[in-house]
Amino acid sequence: MTEQIIRPEPHQKIFLEQFDPQYHAGLDKDATKAKTKVLNDRLADLQEILYAQKKYALLVVLQAMDAGGKDSTIKKVFTGVNPQGFKIANFKKPTEEELAHDFLWRVHQHVPAKGYIGIFNRSHYEDVLVVRVNKLVPKNVWQARYQHINHFEKLLTDSGVTVLKFYLHISKDEQKERFQARLDDPSKHWKFSKGDLPVREQWDDYMHAFEDALSLCNTDYAPWHIIPANRKWYRNYIITKTLVETLEAMPLEYPHPEAGIEHIVIPD
């Protein structure tokens, strides 16, 4: 199979129908899972240096339709990572206090500090997705937010935060299968909500909203990655590989030890 572009060029119009959610580059499932395990270990090592150095931060943004795999991505990709240097923020319906501020106010508070990896399970992009589709604010309000988001992400990168954004691209048929699996397994009933069905009926509207978010907020400093996510093992591999490559490109190093430490003798 030919290689599918995972990271589109900045500022180009993106049409999701051109991206195959079933794509897996012809890789073998078991062999790729083994490679992912090696990458998981490498990610844990790099995170240890990031945490010790406390000079840079990494923000990972995950967006997807319902049942797109955000939770399982976090579980599989970040297995073995030291929880001390790892924080997750979930962005759901805003509270009254959050609505009383600008839309980025609640988000900025959860940006990872230097030394940390932060995960946004949903994010500031909800304010150009669900807000747009459900007409919660006027069009001129959500349209202006694309530029606000770009400026916000530029501020973060200028402050030492590397921003990686992943759109987990699943098909509508795959979503149906995952919903049905939740209904068929009593241990997963808690993951299903009747409210998921009206959102599913808005699938096309959400695809258009995602396309605009991916097109207008795909910058060289905060790129979007479109991840074929029907096959979970391939999704995990590509995301873990991208994270490792990103951290390896940073000037990470352990802090210099205190002077004279080599002469210390631990007393009995």
48 closest CA partner among 241, 253, 238, 249: 253
Rounded CA separation 104/109 (Å): 9
Structure tokens at 105: 């106010």
pLDDT over 70, % of the chain:
99
- Summarize pLDDT for 98-120 with one digit per residue, the tens: 999 999 999 999 999 999 999 99
CB-based contact 69:232 (threshold 8 Å): yes
SS (H, E, C) the chain: CCCCCCCCCCCCCCCHHHCCCCCCCCCCHHHHHHHHHHHHHHHHHHHHHHHHHCCCEEEEEEEECCCCCHHHHHHHHCCCCCHHHEEEEECCCCCHHHHCCCCCHHHHCCCCCCCCEEEEECCHHHHHCHHHHCCCCCHHHHHHHHHHHHHHHHHHHHCCEEEEEEEEECCHHHHHHHHHHHHHCHHHHHHCCCCHHHHHHCHHHHHHHHHHHHHHCCCCCCCEEEEECCCHHHHHHHHHHHHHHHHHCCCCCCCCCCCCHHHCCCCC
Rounded CA separation 74/62 (Å): 9
pLDDT (0 to 100) of residue 2: 43
Rounded CA separation 16/220 (Å): 20
Low-confidence stretches of the chain (pLDDT beneath 70): 1-3
Domain ranges of the chain: 16-251
Is the domain spanning 16-251 CATH 3.40.630.180? The answer is no
pLDDT (0 to 100) of residue 1: 38
pLDDT (0 to 100) of residue 3: 54
Confidence (pTM)? 0.94
Rounded CA separation 158/57 (Å): 11
Rounded CA separation 50/66 (Å): 32
